[in-house]
Structure 1
Amino acid sequence: MDWLTESARIVVVVAGGAAAGIVTYLAVSLFARLARHSTWGASTRLIWKRCAGGLRVALPLIGVYLSLPFALEAPALERTQVVLSVALISVSAYLLIRALYGIEDLITARLDLEHEDNLDARRVQTQLRVMRGVLASFIVFTAVIVILLFVPGFRQIGSGLLASAGIAGLVIGFAAQRALGNLLAGFQIAVTQPIRLDDVVVVEGEWGRIEEISLTYVVVRIWDERRLILPISYFLEKPFTNWTRETAQILGTVYLYTDYRVPIDELRAELDRIVEKSEHWDGRVKGLVVTDSKEHSLELRALVSAKDGGSAWDLRCEVREKLVRFLAENYPETLPRIRAELDGAHKAA
C-alpha cells in the first residue's frame, strides 16, 4: 500500500497548488471587476496591471508550500522547501518591483506632460524614474541577501562569502568603483536635476533631447534620430548646455552678412512681417541689430523667440530663408560682394 500512500501525497500537493490557483483566479477576477466599477478603479488598474501576473505565480506557490508537510517527509521535504523558498523570495521581489512600476505609472498618468512648458511635470517624472531604479536595485540586493543568509541550504554559501569579504571586497570594490560612482551620480541627478527627461541639451557638439535616464547611463536622442549614450557621471563632471533648465522658452539668432548699403529699416520691417505670420514665433521677442562691421560686409543679427528648442530651430531657418530671399529680390546690390580697383598699368594691359 506504499504506492497508495505516495499517490495520496502527490494528490495533496497537486490539490494544494490547484486550490491556491483557483483562489488566485477568483481573487484576480473579483478585484479587477471591483476596480472597473469603483471611483478609484482607474488608478488601481495601473498598479494591478503590473502585479497581476506575479500574484498568479505567488499564490499557487504558497499553496504548494503549505501542503508540503502533508505530502513529503525529510529529507525530501527540506530540499523541496528550500527550492520553494527561493522561488517565493524571488517572486516576492519581482512583485515589489512591479508594484514600483505601477506606482510610477499612477503618478505619471496624473502629470501634464503635454503642456508646452512642462518643467514641473518633467522634474517629477525624472525623480520617479531614478528613484524607482534605486529602490528596485535595493530590492534585488535584499532578496539575494535573504536567500543566501536565511534560506537553509544557502546559509553556508552566504557565510562563506561573508568570511571571504575582506579579500573579495577589495577585488569587487576596485572592479565596481566606476559602476558605484555612476549609481551615486544617478541618485544625485535625481535630487539636483541638472537634466530632466525631454530636456533639450547640447553635448559633445550634438543637439538633442534627453530620452532616457537610467541609474548608470543617459540616452540623448540627436536631432537626426541617432542616440548618444553617455555615462550618467558625465553630466556631473563635464560642462554641457541645457536649453530648458528653467523654462522651455528660448531665444534664437540668425546672422546675415550684407553690403554696407543694406536698408536696415526695411529689413527690420520685413523681419516683423515674417515672424508675425510664423506659427513658430511665441510673440515675445523680435529684433534686428548691426553687431559688427567687417572689411567687406556688415554683420546683422536677428533675434527671435520661440516656445521650445524645436520651434526655435524651425523659426531660425524660416527667418534666414525669407530674409535672404527678400534681399535677393528687392535689394540684390546689398548682397555681399568684393570690390577690386585696377591701377593704370593694368588697365592699359
Structure 2
Amino acid sequence: MNISTSVWLTLAVAVVAAVAAAVVGELVALGVRRLGRNHEILATLAQRGRRPLAGFMATLAAQWALKIYSQTADWQQPTFFALTLLTVAFGAWLAVVAANVVQDVLLLRYRIDVKDNRRQRQRRTQVQLVKRVAVALIIVVAVASMLLTIPGARGAGASVLASAGLLSVVAGLAAQTSLANIFAGLQIAFTDGIRVDDVVVVEEEWGNIEDITLTYVVVKLWDQRRLILPSTYFTTTPFANWTRNSSDIIGSVDFDVDWTVPFDEVRSHAEAFVKDHPLWNGQTYALQVTDARNSFVSFRVLVSADSGGELFDLRCAVREELVALLRREHPGALPKVRMDTPRAVHIPQQDGHRATRTVTG
C-alpha cells in the first residue's frame, strides 16, 4: 500500500468515525429527551444541546481516527489545529446551551405574573446576572484555549507576563468605568436594591425595571420608551423604588370641589366603585379631605393595584366616575370661584357732611 492510499484511507476512517460519533450524539440526545420527559431541564438540554453535542463528539472522534496515521505529513498539523479549534468551539457552545437551559428552567420556577412577586423578581434578577457572568467566563476560557493552540503562543505569553505590571496599570485606567459598572451590576443583583419588574422613578420618569445587565439597567417607561442607565447610577444616585417591600402600588386621585360637596355620599359611592373594580387589589382605599382654602375644598382618593399600569388605569377610572357623579347628582358642588362685589358705604361726619368709602363684603 503506497502513501497516497494510506492517507486517503486514514481520511476515510476519520470521516466515518466523525459521522458515527455524530449519530451517537444524536441518539444520546434522543435518549436523554425520552428519559427526561418528567424532568424539564433534561428534556430542554437534550433538545437544544443536540447539535453542539454531535459536533463535539464528531471532532473528537476525527482526531482519534487521524492518530492512526503514524507517518509524518504536511497536512497533519493544520488538520489537527482546525479540529482542535472546532472541538473547543463545540464544547463552549454546549456549555453556553447548558447555562441558558438552567436559566430558563429556573426562571419558570420564579414566575412574576403572581400577586406578590417580590421574591420571584429578586431571584430572576440574580439568575439572569449569574448566567451572563457564566457565559462570559465560558467565552473567555474558550478563546484563551484556542489561542494556546497556536504554535508559539506560550512563548508570546511569557513576554506578555514580563510586562504585566505596566499593562495592568494601563488596563486598569482604561477599564475603570467598565469595571465599576460590572461590580455595580453584581452589587445590584445580590443586595436586592432593585429587581426585574420593580416600579421606579428615575430622572423624574416613571417606569419598570425591564432588564439588568452587568453594565447597564433598562427602565421601561410608561410611554413605551426605554431609559438605559449605567449600573453605577443605581449605586450612587438616589431614586424611588415603589415596590421595594411589596409588589402593590399606591396612588392618589386629587379633586378640587365646592364647599357644598356632600362628602358622605361621595365617600360611599367611591368606596363601592373601587371595591367592585377588577383592578383594585384589595389592599388600600381611603377618601380624605386634604385642604380647604379660598373657593375650593380639596380631597383625594387613595387606591392600590398590583402594577404601575393597572394603577394608572384604576386612577383614571376613579377620576371619571367621581366627575360623572358630581356633574350628574351634584352640579352645585363643581368648583367655582367666588368674588366679593364692592359696595359704597356712607359715613356721617361731625360737621354734617358725609364721606363715601368703598368696601367689599
Q: Same fold (TM over 0.5)?
A: yes
- CA deviation vs aligned residue, 1:13-36 (integer Å, no higher than 9, x gap): 343233223222233234324422
Q: State the 1:74 CA deviation.
A: 5.5
Q: For residues 164-208 of structure 1, what are the alpha-carbon distances to aligned partners after superposition, in whole Å with 9 as ceiling and x for unaligned?
A: 323332222212111111111111112112111222222222222
Instruction: Give how far 1:11 is off.
Output: 3.7
What's the CA shift for 1:308? 2.9
Return the alpha-carbon distance in structure 2 between the equivalents of residues 239 and 89 of structure 1: 45
For the 8 Å contact 2:279–2:305, the answer to whether it is kept is: yes
What SS class does the counterpart of residue 282 from structure 1 fall into? coil
Aligned partner of 2:83 in structure 1 is 84
Q: Is the 8 A contact 1:243 1:309 kept in 2?
A: no
Change (3 A) 1:106 1:161: same
Give the distance between the partners of 1:19 and 1:82, measured in 2 at CA. 18
The structure with more helix, counted as a fraction of residues: 1
Q: How does 1:172-211 map to 2 (within 5 A)?
A: 172-211=171-210
Question: 1:15 is matched with which residue?
Answer: 13
Segments of 5+ residues of structure 2 without an aligned counterpart are 345-357
Q: Which residue number in structure 2 is paired with residue 66 of structure 1?
A: 64
Q: Distance in 1 between matches of 2:157 and 2:40?
A: 43
Whether 1:336 and 2:335 are equivalent positions in the alignment is yes
Structure 1's unaligned 5+ residue stretches are: none
Deviates more, 1:140-149 or 1:204-213: 140-149
Letter paired with 1:201: V
CA distance in 1, matches of 2:154, 2:78: 13
Distance 1:335 1:141 in 2: 68
Rounded to whole Å, the distance in 1 between the matches of 2:176 and 2:341 is: 71
Q: CA deviation at 1:282?
A: 2.0
Amino acid at match of 2:262: P
> What secondary structure does 2:95 align onto?
helix
Q: Does 1:242 align with 2:241?
A: yes
Contact 2:256 2:297 (C-alpha < 8 Å) held by counterparts: yes
Q: In the alignment, which residue of structure 2 is the partner of 1:277?
A: 276
CA contact (8 A) 2:29 2:49 kept: no
- Aligned partner of 2:160: which letter? L
The alpha carbon displacement at 1:343 in A equals 2.1
Partner of 1:47: 45
SS in 1 for 2:100: helix
Residues 94-123 of structure 1 show CA distances to partners (whole Å, capped at 9, x for unaligned) of 322221111112222333433221222222
Larger Rg, first or second structure (1 or 2): 2
Which residue identity does 2:339 align to in structure 1?
Answer: A
Q: Deviations over 1:196-237 (max 9, x none)?
A: 122222222222222211111111222222111111221111
Separation (CA, whole Å) in 1 of partners of 2:51 and 2:221: 37
Q: Which residue of 2 aligns with 1:228?
A: 227
Equivalent residue for 2:349?
A: none
Moved over 6 A (4+): none
Residue equivalent to 1:296: 295
C-alpha separation in 2, matches of 1:169 and 1:65: 38
Q: Match of 1:171, as an amino acid?
A: V
Following superposition, the deviation at residue 43 of structure 1 comes to 2.6
Which range moves more in the overlay, 205-214 or 144-153? Answer: 144-153
- TM-score (ref. length: structure 2): 0.86
- Report if aligned partners of 2:25, 2:53 keep a CA contact under 8 Å in 1: no
Cα distance change of structure 1 residues 86 and 15 upon mapping to structure 2, 3 Å threshold: same
8 A contact 2:36–2:43 mirrored in 1: no
Contact 2:41/2:101, CA 8 A, preserved across alignment = no
**Aligned-partner Cα distance in 2 for 1:79–1:314:** 66
Question: Are the counterparts in 2 of residues 85 and 151 from structure 1 also a CA contact under 8 Å?
Answer: no
On the 8 A contact 1:46/1:105 being kept in 2, the answer is no
Report what 1:167 is aligned to: 166
Contact kept? 1:58, 1:91, Cα under 8 Å: yes
CA distance in 2, matches of 1:215, 1:190: 9
Q: Which 10-residue stretch deviates more, 13-22 or 290-299?
A: 13-22
- Cα deviation code 1:122-145 (max 9, x no counterpart): 222111100111122222223333
The structural deviation recorded for 1:305 is 2.2
SS in 2 for 1:340: coil
One-letter amino acid of the structure 2 residue matched with residue 337 of structure 1 = K
Give 1:83 deviation, angstroms.
3.4
Report the alpha carbon displacement of residue 248 of structure 1 after superposing the two structures with TM: 1.1
| 1: CA distance, partners of 2:309 / 2:166 | 53
Change (3 A) 1:88 1:204: same
Distance of aligned partners of 1:119 and 1:108 in 2 relative to their CA distance in 1, 3 Å threshold = same
In the alignment, what sits opposite 1:286?
285
Partner of 1:94: 93
Using structure 1 for the length normalisation, give the TM-score: 0.89
Of 17-26 and 260-269, deviating more is 17-26
Q: Secondary structure at the match of 1:341?
A: coil
Say how many residue pairs are matched: 345
